[in-house]
Amino acid sequence: MALEIRDIYKHFGPVRANDGISFTVQEGSLHGILGENGAGKSTLMKILSGFYGADSGAVILNGEVLELGSPADAIDAGIGMLHQDPLVFLPLTVLDNFALGSPGPIPLDRSEILEELNRVSSGLGFEFDPSRLAGSLTIGERQQLAITRLMWLGAKVLIFDEPTTGISATQRLQLFATLRKLAENGLIVLFVSHKLEEVEDLCDSVTIIRQGRVVFEAEMPVPPETLVEKMFGKVFVEQGHDAVPLGDALLRLSGTVLTEGTTHIKDLNMDVAAGEVIGLAGLEGSGQRALLRACSGLLEPKAGVLSIDGKDMSKASYRDHLAAGVHYLPAGRLEEGLVHGISITEHFVLTSEDKSFFIDWKAAEKEAESEIGDYSIKGDPGSHAEGLSGGNQQRLLLAMIPDAVKLLLLEHPTRGLDVESAAYVWTRLLDRRLEGTSIVFASADLDELLRYSDRIVVFFGGEVFAVRNASDIDGEELGYLIGGKQRV
């Protein structure tokens, strides 16, 4: 079995997302697809999985030219895709989500479906409670559920689009073990990523796409500097950050108790100085998100004190926190950060400090054009948020951060961004420290935590397990701490 992508073209108005892409992947391959944000990776994967139709070209599997008019056509042909945000229905149970797309008769035989769920999931090394609501699953568990469903539906080619975004280090290891097993069983696995270390660790071959075209193909291993040069047209070196003089405590938590879902944090004591960067580490659900939401006014503490700039904000609303100079950037871009159906220009109007009754649309469009250029957003002022790639949605969120901010709360701030874009974002964020802005961010990327934090706060089991100066530890020790262990 081989998958051949032959001369694929796809245009969106004047934008050439795919400009004659061709390459072939053999069965049993773990094949990496690399490229910077907006290079055309996601567009190509959506063509392969039936979400988009190509303007021209062909997708050939096992010698047969496929007609891919919908995702159903793709899965019928043996091609399934795991999206960056797994396609599960959160109000439904695990079993009901698994049954979606079932080829069987209606009504479904639920006992037979349950038997199939157990059979397929156990073969993959997954464990599910069939009655559990999908909304209570972690991102990693939702991925496992989506993979299980795709395998049951007969996928022979599996596409993984930035699958490590938003999952813990432990879930990443389990995911990689699953992908290796799938490839060993003769499937074709396409691994789309911007993270060089993941492609180096996992893949046995790679294709690099730049500006809609294939610019490099090779068997792995390939020197990382070669991959970077092919992705960006130059060798790029990531930088850390310089120390800045810190001010007085801007954020202070004393005996704070937080409860959100199954996460319970008790007796939280923590100070963050003006100009300080605090990284939050820990397994998913350990308390990082609850802390960020409490500091932004979205989660009210059960007890204790949460003060900002000397003022008790424990009972203050989200709007009160905004007025106090707090800005929160959530991990869920479209779920919490952006609005479906409105343009980039309209997003800037919503966040504008100009509260005039009438909107100056020409001025608003000019501002949008300026921010689009400043943050290298691949879109135009009329582009809708949901039409942007994940990385460009993140750029838009970052561009919308107000100028005057005392406390920046960031959840996976470079999620979905390539190396160069992530470094650029951090350059912009760290510049704000010179004005006394404090930054508290959560990340599953250990390198990001070590590179940009002054101090790292490690959560484990709803408690602060350790606090370390980032300059005093390495990735191995941080990994131990996240797992609830001290390195001997």
Kindly state the helix (H) or strand (E) to which residue 280 belongs, with its residue range. strand 277-281
d(CA 422, CA 445): 12
| Exposure string over 341-378, b if 16+ CB within 10 A, otherwise e | eebbbbbbbeebeeeeeeeeeeebbebbeebbeebbbb
* Contact status, residue 235 vs residue 212, Cβ threshold 8 Å: no
CB atoms within 10 A of CB 314: 17
CB atoms within 10 A of CB 319: 9
C-alpha dihedral over 159, 90, 144, 102, to 10 degrees? -70
Reduced to 3 states (helix: H, G, I; strand: E, B; else coil), residue 92 is coil
The reported pLDDT for the residue numbered 267 is 86
The reported pLDDT for the residue numbered 100 is 85
Q: How far is CA 291 from CA 174, 341, 404, in A?
A: 27, 30, 22
Q: What is the DSSP letter of 436?
A: T
Output the CA torsion sign for 233, 237, 238, 241: negative
The reported pLDDT for the residue numbered 285 is 72
Output the CA torsion sign for 128, 134, 136, 139: positive
Alpha helices in 185-287 (DSSP H): 196-202, 224-232
Q: What is the pLDDT along the chain (488 residues), one digit of tens a residue?
A: 899 999 999 988 777 889 999 999 999 999 999 887 678 888 999 999 999 999 999 999 999 999 999 999 999 999 999 887 788 888 999 999 998 877 766 677 888 899 999 999 988 888 899 999 998 888 788 888 999 999 999 999 999 988 876 676 777 888 899 899 999 999 999 999 877 778 888 999 999 998 899 999 999 998 887 887 887 665 544 556 667 778 889 999 999 999 887 778 888 899 999 999 999 988 777 889 899 999 999 999 999 999 999 999 999 999 999 999 999 998 877 778 888 889 999 999 888 877 778 888 999 999 999 999 888 888 889 999 888 877 788 889 888 888 889 999 999 888 767 777 788 888 888 888 888 899 999 987 788 898 899 999 998 877 888 899 998 988 778 877 876 777 65
The reported pLDDT for the residue numbered 59 is 96
Nearest 5°: phi and psi at 39?
-75, -20
Domains in the chain, start-ordered, CATH in brackets? 2-232 (3.40.50.300), 249-482 (3.40.50.300)
Question: Chain-centre distance of CA 399, in angstroms?
Answer: 17
DSSP for 144-210 reads HHHHHHHHHTT-SEEEEESTTTT--HHHHHHHHHHHHHHHHTT-EEEEEES-HHHHHHH-SEEEEEE
Residue type, 16: R
